[in-house]
Amino acid sequence: MEYKADYTKIAAIPTSYSGVVFRSRLEARWAAFFDLCGWDWAYEPLLLDGWLPDFLIRTSACDVLAEVKPIDLAQAWSDHKAGRPVSWPDYDKATKYGGELPIILLGRDPTCLYGDDIIGLIVIDVSRALAIAGCTLEEFNNSLRVEGHAGAKWLEAEDRVRGLPPRRHNIFPGL
């Protein structure tokens, strides 16, 4: 069975954060997450032919374009690794630029798909994009690493977007 995200029943809720009105609460939460990671960002920074990236993230190594969709990337990646077909039509506009620009696909949370602390799914043609970006693959990967616990930052980002006071998140219940 092919993995295909179905989020047609999810209504985007325009949300303000840091003086910006985002098209969805998920995008606002990603912006708050970037702030907690210490990354500068711009929302809908430029219009490319057929694609309006959700974010430009300025990392220590290079600028990265990001596309956000309410998709369970961990499940899709697991299916892909298991040899099951995965459909990515929601990311098609972004992935067509993967050979030209450093791009990261972000889902419904900062799932670390590579078994470490790099968020999202990197779309890149190493031979072309990194030469344009002016960094190596290692520098690019390292620039997207989350210091500390990504899950805790994600919970704090939710609090910020909703205007809630910081709370102590017990990410390890029972300990």
* Each residue's pLDDT tens digit, 121-158: 766 655 555 555 566 667 777 777 788 788 888 899 99
Q: What local confidence, expressed as pLDDT, does residue 5 receive? A: 57
Average pLDDT taken over every residue of the chain: 79
The region of weakest confidence among 4-13, 64-73, 76-85, 146-155 is 4-13
pTM: 0.82
Phi, psi of 59 (to 5 degrees): -100, 175
Indicate if the pLDDT at residue 49 is higher than 60.
Answer: yes
Q: What local confidence, expressed as pLDDT, does residue 99 receive? A: 65
Burial of 46 (0-12, 13-18, 19+ CB in 10 A): exposed
Q: How far apart are CA 94 and CA 104, in angstroms?
A: 9
Predicted confidence band at 116 (pLDDT cuts at 50, 70, 90)? low
Query: Taking the domains of the chain in order of start, what are their residue ranges?
Result: 40-162
Strands 20-22 and 40-43: unpaired
The region of weakest confidence among 1-10, 71-80, 148-157 is 1-10
Do 149 and 119 meet the contact criterion of CB atoms below 8 Å apart? no
Indicate if the pLDDT at residue 43 is higher than 80.
Answer: yes
SS3 call for 129: helix
Q: How far is CA 14 from the centre of its chain?
A: 18
Q: How far apart are CA 174 and CA 146, in angstroms?
A: 25
- Across the range 117-124, mean pLDDT stands at 67
Q: What local confidence, expressed as pLDDT, does residue 172 receive? A: 55
Instruction: Report pLDDT digits (tens) over 78-98.
Output: 787 788 877 777 778 887 877
Q: What local confidence, expressed as pLDDT, does residue 75 receive? A: 81
Q: What local confidence, expressed as pLDDT, does residue 41 receive? A: 97
